[in-house]
């Protein structure tokens, strides 16, 4: 199929109008973006200060003071601006746009004469530029600002920030490269690569694509740039604030720089870095037709999603380095599953869908979106999980230091606040994830069932459609074609993995057979404006088991219903949740409850609770033979994304199963 | 009952002669003590150097050099000497005694004129004495050397080291106390308290008992000494090598100094510190009749053993600070359960038995001894676990940083090598743990069933007996009274918790009824020399369950047989072990296998393995409904203490149970 050069070009032609998602997009627009603006300006009482805007003011010479926050603090402003861009595209707001314009002017003022832009190195370590790519996130921050520039430009047509970032990219080209005197290096935290691809998409300037490719191609080659750079610094570490032993190339696995990217086949190291890199690799494979890169993307996708992904779409199972550990090591309680990592996985999935429309990519995208990502944000939009556990015992989170990183309650903001603005930019650009179009093949793919109005320019002409969806509560989406060309057009509707392949298609009220291609129901015909396509993938609550190699889930099952993973909370089921179990064949009753956190389908089932009355409090162990039968109880499960919005307490996704 | 002033006075009158234990005591004598001597002298190829003897040579002025090892390195020499003392008591060895005498002369040479003794402060920080009791273990090292001095004196009658340590204790008296100009303080790592009690026992000098009591009484009072001392140092930390914020009194919970010991009721902080302190508290409660202290001991015993103890007798569930976490938090995989902590628990249990002969103390003592402690040492006596896990996945130990502290293979020696010499001193003094005697009440208690010859001085006269035992393989112990007084004497035989209270007594071949007092079968009569008492507590393999609040063990059971906890190893049962399950009512077959690591009873049972063939390698999750039945398999369990002595692999103590 013919592929588009940028993923953004359709964004303004797709608008979400959806009973489930409207509240999230409105929350982002009405609460999260304003709240984060306050946070960036250090005006949230009781929350850790961000310093992010203040840093730009100081760098711009408008204020005196010290740099504050993390070395990558600039990226929070960038992510906020990017979210603002998407939000403005969908929902004009002159006041917000004026605020953004002011921020952009501030950023422009902080830019150096030569194009360089980074408040940390401007304020705190002038002259230290490009000496610690390993740790100091200079290109990472630049990448986020480029993404913001593109989003803002595409939303408003305003080029100011785009030009600032093009100047920076042009300057980068003079710094990095294989020519003598240039740095043959790359950033310790990938992000610039995917951002340069976006800059290329927005400007058509091929040199930005080439620079992205340079960074990807150099990564992990010998001699290892990050190791050599560390040697140049005599081992000095920004984070340790002292000299450390020079790391080996193998240790650069944390940064996915232990070997060339085309030779990598296992997801290793810091999970956000990994998926941002995979995203760029997929972009480049698509835009350059690099088959070797595509193969690497497929291998890394498989390893990430089939061996190292939680059922919630979370990735990265250890908080030590916020990293992947190894295949099937997916502990539920000492989990990491960082919000940003799932967002990066969604980016990667979307790029893989652009490369090849296979439903498995969208299945994972949907899983991460409906569970890990939206679960990270409180219903008020002001509190966030950074770590998204599948099992919480609040007392352990407080009193067992190995679980301090797992919070039982969402936090107002973070010293290292990467996650909240990342959620905001994803949710405010969600319209970009619903469809993709193959113009040359006159095909419109529907990946997500989210109510929306969309139009696509195909070779055959313009197609416009209106989707109405009852997801995630019912398996039912209705498409009305509002504009169609004369020539045949293919509609490809994803057959979700949760439907078990059972999905009914009706066209203008009549049941229709369909062919299946790569997990999509495919219908090619000449359409008439007003045609109605109804799509009903089977959506029912079911128990799901984990691969036996995932030891943490042995003898346990999870309740899933459509795209939603469910969990048990103490507030509904008492404590300890570990005492509860369920029979594999128990019917799962679904009921939509309007008064639960804005309305949700709750699942009730017969279960069992290990009895505790016959235990003496001072008997830790006793013969199993004296046990009494478990007591029948009614289990109540709520969608995972809603957990922790009522009374704090235990939560578990995986439930013990009884019998075989 | 009348209580003895020292627990040591009978030690030379009890000799172990036991099929099971001889190999351990011989291993300690023939291998561990010589091997540790080599280690203390830095002569083990491939192992981390100890520096311990070298430090003494430098401090004694016999060698030039820098201090090496931990600040508490002296204690390794002390623990070795203590083990040598016990070993010589049971098994004279002129060459070993000569070596020990030389070490003692070396130690004496390293002692300061005023009695002070510590190689770290002599070599590395002269003048810094008593400025960092919080971190620097000065009194801890002194305490271990006092224990060595007492053991060596009691074994050999030689007073050299005893006098060295009395001089140090006398000097301590001039440093610590409530009088003006003295330090009103105590050590950051408890040990001196129990050691001073031993020094009192060996010398009869009451001032040593009073000094022990001073340390116990001052601990945790306000103003908090450790906090104030830290303030005096301006926050400088030995471990961090820089100034840190002044801690709060609450943070001194790590050192059990957050409140006065009599007000403590929950085991908190570093687990070894805790149980060493509880040991001294029980000593003092016994020797001073302090009822409030006794109550605190009972409360802390209850909390430690009934809410925070693993089934193996391990305590301390987090490696962060090698510490207790909180009630019922007993994860099997991220466990700590340090060997030294279980040894300290055994010390505590023994002191509680001396206070009040209740079988629950001996039950815990036996549990920790037969499982956690002997399991920490390899069958060759040269490799040790510091952490004693209940579940091991070797790949996770290597690749998940949160489990790096859990080793899948015993290590040759440690930089911080507290555990191996602690095992040696416990096993070489095991004869002291079998019996206790109440001279005034003419009662001999048998706590452990370990073949031995013993004699006791009671008010009624001398009693001598010979115990033969088939424990742990059969529930059968035979006592022959070889010397008896004319007056009646009470034999009190422990009814082990694992017998479920079913135990048969025969005297001279005839079944005999008995009364039960505090978990002991009690028989009072006039005995005749040659009388034979046979004691047969019911010993059979059974499944044991954990209290429902111990979430880690929900839906799981452990195989126990007599005092032994069993485990499954990958080498016998394949991988993943988490796929295995067992029915609650499955018969457990016991068979003594001679060729398994010196002979052991192995347990076989019908179990089930979750089938894996129908899973595709690339399917992490699938509907539970498509599962196939678990396959019947033969499970093979081996005693926990033997795990990790064959091929490295997975191990689990807790096994999933099927059905209710």
Dmax (CA) of chain B: 80
Q: What share of chain A is helix, strand, coil (3-state, %, to 5)?
A: 40, 20, 40
Model confidence at B413, in pLDDT bands (50, 70, 90)?
A: low
Q: What is the dihedral of CA B128, B131, B135, B138, to 10 degrees?
A: 70
Tokens 């060595």 map to which residue?
B148
Contact in structure between B197 and B284 (CB atoms under 8 Å): yes
- Which pLDDT score, from 0 to 100, does residue B617 have? 79
Phi–psi pair at A357, nearest 5 degrees:
-80, 85
Quick one: pLDDT at residue B44? 84
Provide the 10 A C-beta neighbour count for residue B406: 26
Residue of A nearest to B391 (CA): A551
- By three-state DSSP, how is residue B303 classified? helix
* A184-203 tens-digit pLDDT: 999 999 999 999 999 999 99
Contact between chains at A656 and B543 (C-beta distance less than 8 A)? no
Asked if A624's CB is within 8 angstroms of B542's CB, the reply is yes
pLDDT at A414: 54
| Cβ–Cβ contact A182 with B under 8 A | no
User: For residues A569 and A651, is the Cβ–Cβ distance under 8 A?
Assistant: yes
Contacts B331 to A, Cβ<8 Å: 333, 400
User: DSSP letters along A550-604, please?
Assistant: -GGGTTEEEEEETTEEEEEEHHHH-S-GGGEEE-TT--EEEEEETTSTT-EEEEE
**Which residues of chain A are modeled with pLDDT < 50?**
1-12, 660
Q: Which of A450, A444, A477, A479 has its CA nearest to residue A463?
A: A444
Q: Name the one residue in this structure whose structure tokens are 């290590």.
A: B411
* The residue to which tokens 């002997």 are assigned: B374
Q: Element (H or E) spanning B492, and its range?
A: strand B489-494
DSSP for B254-269, please give it. Answer: GGT-SS-GGG--S--S
Which residues lie closer than 8 Å to A10 by C-beta, 6 or more apart? A4, A432, A435, A437, A454, A456
The sign of the CA dihedral B125, B131, B134, B139 is positive
The pLDDT of B222-234, averaged and rounded, is: 96
User: Which residue would you say has higher pLDDT here, B4 or A68?
Assistant: A68
Smallest CA–CA distance, residue B213 to chain A, in Å, is 30
Cα distance between residue B114 and residue B326, in whole Å: 44
B318 chain-A contacts, CB cut-off 8 A: 400-402
- In chain A, the largest separation of any two C-alpha atoms, in whole Å, equals 80
pLDDT band at residue B414, thresholds of 50, 70 and 90? low
H/E stretch holding A437 reads strand A435-438
Q: Compute the distance between CA of residue B583 and CA of residue B263 in angstroms, rounded to an integer.
A: 45
B477 interfacial to chain A (CB closer than 8 Å): no
Q: Are B74 and B119 in contact (CB under 8 A)?
A: yes
Report the distance separating Cα A38 and Cα A55, nearest Å: 15
Which residue of chain A comes nearest to B575, CA vs CA? A549
Alpha-carbon span B642 to B646, nearest angstrom = 9
Cβ-based neighbours of A465, under 8 Å, separated by 6 or more = A444, A453, A454, A455, A479, A480, A481, A482
Give the pLDDT confidence score for residue A382 in this predicted structure.
Answer: 85
Report which secondary-structure segment, H or E, holds A139: helix A138-156
Residue A420 has a pLDDT of 83
Taking a contact as any Cβ pair under 8 Å apart, which residues of chain A between 582 and 621 contact chain B? 584, 608, 610, 612, 615, 617-621
Strand partners, B522: B492, B515
Residue B567 appears among annotated catalytic residues:
no
Q: Cβ contacts of residue B94 below 8 Å, gap of 6+? A: none
Kindly state the percentage of chain B with pLDDT values over 90.
90
CB pairs A-B closer than 8 Å: 189
Lowest-pLDDT range, A43-47, B89-93, B335-339?
A43-47
The C-alpha angle with vertex B215 and arms to B214 and B218, in degrees rounded to 5, equals 80
**A548/B656 CB distance under 8 A:** no
For residue A587, the distance in angstroms to the closest alpha carbon of chain B comes to: 12
Q: Residue B309 and residue A623: Cβ atoms within 8 Å?
A: no
Map tokens 């940003």 to a residue. Answer: A340
- The residue assigned the tokens 């000095």 is A236
A 10 A CB-CB count for A250 gives 11
Q: What residues 429-458 of chain B have any CB closer than 8 A to a CB of chain A?
A: none
Q: What is the DSSP string of B375-390?
A: HTB-TTSS-B-SB--S
Listed ranges A37-46, B205-214, B232-241; the one with the highest mean pLDDT: B205-214
Distance from C-alpha of A176 to C-alpha of A217, rounded to nearest angstrom: 13
- A89-126: string of b/e by CB count within 10 Å (b at 16+)? bbeebeebbebbeebbebbbebbbeebbbbbbbbbbbe
Query: What DSSP state is assigned to residue A368?
Result: I
Q: Which has the closest alpha carbon to A387: A315, A279, A301? A: A315
| Shortest Cα distance, chain A CAs vs residue B343, angstroms | 20
Supply the pLDDT for residue A6.
Answer: 38
- Nearest CA to CA, how far is B493 from chain A (Å)? 22
**Are B555 and A581 an interchain contact pair (Cβ–Cβ within 8 Å)?**
yes
Q: Is B131 on the interface with A (CB under 8 A)?
A: no
CA pair distance B55, B574, nearest whole angstrom: 47
**Nearest CB partner across the interface for B620, out of A306, A329, A630:** A306
Other beta carbons within 10 angstroms of residue B127's beta carbon come to 6
What band does B85 get if pLDDT is binned at 50, 70 and 90?
very high
Kindly state the average pLDDT of the residues B21-33.
92
Say yes or no for a CB contact (<8 Å) between A543 and B660.
Answer: no
In the predicted model, what is the mean pLDDT of residues B641-660? 92
pLDDT at A9: 43
The answer on pLDDT for B615 being more than 80 is: yes
Q: Which two tokens stand for residue B471?
A: 């424990």
Question: Nearest 5 degrees, angle CA B245-CA B247-CA B250?
Answer: 155
Whats the size of chain B, residue-wise? 660
Touching A: B residues 486-505, CB under 8 Å: 500
| B159 C-beta neighbours (distance < 10 Å), count | 14
Banded model confidence at residue B9, pLDDT cuts 50, 70, 90: very low
A548 touches chain B (CB under 8 A): yes
State how far Cα B128 lies from the chain centre: 32
Lowest-confidence pick of A289-293, A625-629, B162-166, B487-491: A625-629
Rounded CA gap, B232 and A120, in Å? 37
Contact A306 B618 (CB under 8 A): yes
Task: Round to whole Å and give the CA distance between A317 and A333.
Answer: 10
Nearest to A498 by CA among B619, B615, B624, B622: B622
- Show Cβ contacts of residue A246 under 8 Å, excluding neighbours closer than 6 positions: A227, A230, A231, A235
List residues bridging with A458 in a β-sheet.
A461
| Residue A629: closest C-alpha in chain B | B660
Q: Residue A305: closest CA among chain B residues belongs to which residue?
A: B620
Q: What is the ipTM of this complex?
A: 0.93
Q: Is B322 a catalytic residue?
A: yes
Residue with tokens 């010979």: B466
> Hey, what are A579's tokens?
């005492």
Residues 78-97 of A with CB under 8 A from B: none
A660 touching B, CB under 8 A? yes
**In chain A, where the domains are located:** 434-537, 541-657
pLDDT of B537 higher than 60: yes
The Cβ of residue B73 has, within 10 Å, a number of other Cβ atoms equal to: 25
CB B532 within 8 A of CB B510: no
pLDDT tens string B418-445:
788 899 999 999 999 999 998 889 999 9
Q: How far apart are CA A362 and CA A434, in angstroms?
A: 9
Peptide bond into B59 cis (omega under 30): no
Kindly report the CATH class assigned to B434-537.
mainly beta
One-letter-per-residue 3-state SS of B35-70: HHHHHHCCCCCCCCCCCHHHHHHHHCCCCCCCCCCC
Cα separation, A140 vs A125, whole angstroms:
17
Three-state SS for B173-216 is HHHECCCCCCECCCCCCCCHHHHHHHHHHHHCCHHHHHHHHHHH
Give the Å distances, CA to CA, from A629 to A632, A634, B61: 9, 16, 71
d(CA A311, CA B529): 72
| Edge-to-edge strand ranges of the sheet holding A443-446 | A435-438, A443-446, A489-494, A520-525, A515-517
CA distances from A523 to A350, A358, A362, A385, A493 (A): 22, 16, 19, 41, 9
Cα–Cα dist B460/B473, whole Å = 35
**Who among B546, B551, B612 is closest to A393 (CB)?**
B551
Q: Contacts of residue B544 in chain A, CB cutoff 8 Å?
A: 621-624
**Nearest-CA residue of chain A relative to B392?**
A551
How does pLDDT run across B282-307, given as a tens digit for each residue?
999 999 999 999 999 999 999 999 99
- List the single best residue of A624, A626, A627, A631 to mutate versus B (max B Cβ within 10 A): A624
DSSP three-state, residue B207: helix
Tell me which residue of A70, A49, A68, A45 sits closest to A57, measured CA to CA: A68
């Amino acid at each position: 199929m013919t592929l588009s050069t940028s993923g953004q070009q359709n964004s303004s032609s797709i608008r979400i109008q959806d009973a489930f998602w409207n509240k999230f997009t409105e929350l982002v627009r009405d609460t999260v973006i304003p709240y984060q603006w306050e946070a960036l300006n250090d005006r949230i009482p009781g929350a850790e200060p961000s310093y992010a805007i203040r840093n730009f003011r100081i760098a711009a010479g408008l204020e005196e003071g010290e740099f504050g926050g993390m070395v990558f603090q600039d990226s929070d402003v960038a992510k906020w601006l990017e979210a603002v861009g998407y939000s403005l595209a969908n929902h004009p707001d002159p006041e917000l746009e004026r605020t953004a314009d002011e921020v952009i002017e501030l950023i422009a003022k902080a830019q150096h004469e030569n194009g360089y832009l980074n408040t940390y190195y401007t304020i705190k370590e002038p002259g230290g530029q490009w000496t610690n790519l390993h740790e100091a996130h200079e290109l990472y921050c630049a990448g986020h600002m480029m993404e913001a520039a593109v989003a803002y430009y595409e939303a408003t047509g305003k080029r100011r920030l785009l030009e600032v970032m093009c100047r920076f990219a042009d300057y980068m080209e003079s710094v990095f490269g294989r020519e003598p005197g240039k740095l043959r290096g790359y950033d310790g935290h990938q992000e610039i690569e995917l951002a340069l691809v976006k800059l290329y998409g927005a400007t058509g300037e091929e040199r930005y694509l080439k620079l992205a490719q340079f960074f990807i191609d150099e990564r992990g080659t010998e001699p290892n740039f990050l190791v050599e750079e560390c040697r140049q610094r005599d081992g000095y570490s920004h984070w340790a604030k002292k000299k450390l032993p020079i790391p080996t190339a193998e240790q650069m696995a944390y940064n996915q720089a232990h070997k060339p990217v085309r030779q990598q086949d296992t997801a290793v190291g810091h999970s956000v870095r990994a998926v941002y890199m995979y995203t760029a690799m997929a972009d480049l494979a698509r835009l350059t037709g690099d088959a070797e890169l595509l193969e690497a993307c497929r291998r890394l996708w498989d390893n990430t999603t089939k061996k190292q992904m939680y059922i919630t779409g979370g990735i990265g199972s250890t908080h030590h380095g916020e990293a992947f550990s190894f295949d099937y090591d997916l502990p539920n309680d000492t989990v990491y599953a960082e919000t940003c990592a799932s967002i990066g996985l969604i980016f990667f999935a979307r790029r893989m869908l652009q490369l090849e429309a296979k439903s498995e990519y969208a299945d994972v995208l949907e899983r991460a979106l409906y569970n890990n990502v939206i679960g990270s944000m409180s219903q008020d939009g002001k509190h966030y999980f950074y770590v998204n556990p599948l099992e919480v015992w609040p007392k352990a989170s407080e009193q067992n230091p190995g679980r301090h990183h797992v919070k039982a309650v969402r936090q107002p903001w973070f010293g290292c606040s990467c996650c909240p603005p990342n959620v905001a930019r994803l949710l405010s650009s969600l319209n970009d994830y619903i469809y993709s179009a193959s113009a040359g093949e006159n095909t419109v793919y529907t990946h997500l069932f989210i109510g929306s109005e969309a139009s696509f320019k195909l070779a055959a002409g313009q197609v416009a459609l209106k989707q109405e969806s009852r997801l995630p509560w019912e398996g039912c989406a209705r498409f009305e074609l509002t504009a169609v060309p004369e020539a045949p057009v293919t509609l490809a509707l994803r057959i979700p993995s949760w439907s078990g392949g059972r999905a009914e298609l009706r066209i203008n009220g009549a049941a229709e057979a369909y062919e299946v291609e790569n997990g999509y129901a495919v219908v090619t015909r000449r359409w008439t404006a007003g045609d109605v396509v109804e799509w009903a993938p089977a959506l029912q609550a079911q128990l799901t088991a984990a691969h036996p190699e995932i030891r943490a889930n042995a003898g346990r099952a999870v309740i899933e219903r459509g795209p939603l993973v469910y969990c048990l909370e103490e507030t509904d089921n008492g404590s300890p949740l570990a005492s509860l179990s369920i029979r594999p064949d128990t019917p799962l009753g679904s009921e939509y409850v309007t008064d639960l956190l804005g309305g949700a389908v709750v699942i009730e089932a017969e279960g069992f609770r290990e009895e505790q009355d016959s235990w003496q409090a001072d008997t830790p162990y006793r013969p199993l033979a004296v046990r009494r039968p478990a007591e029948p109880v009614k289990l109540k499960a709520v969608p995972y994304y809603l957990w922790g919005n009522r009374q704090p307490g235990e939560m578990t996704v995986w439930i013990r199963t009884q019998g075989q």
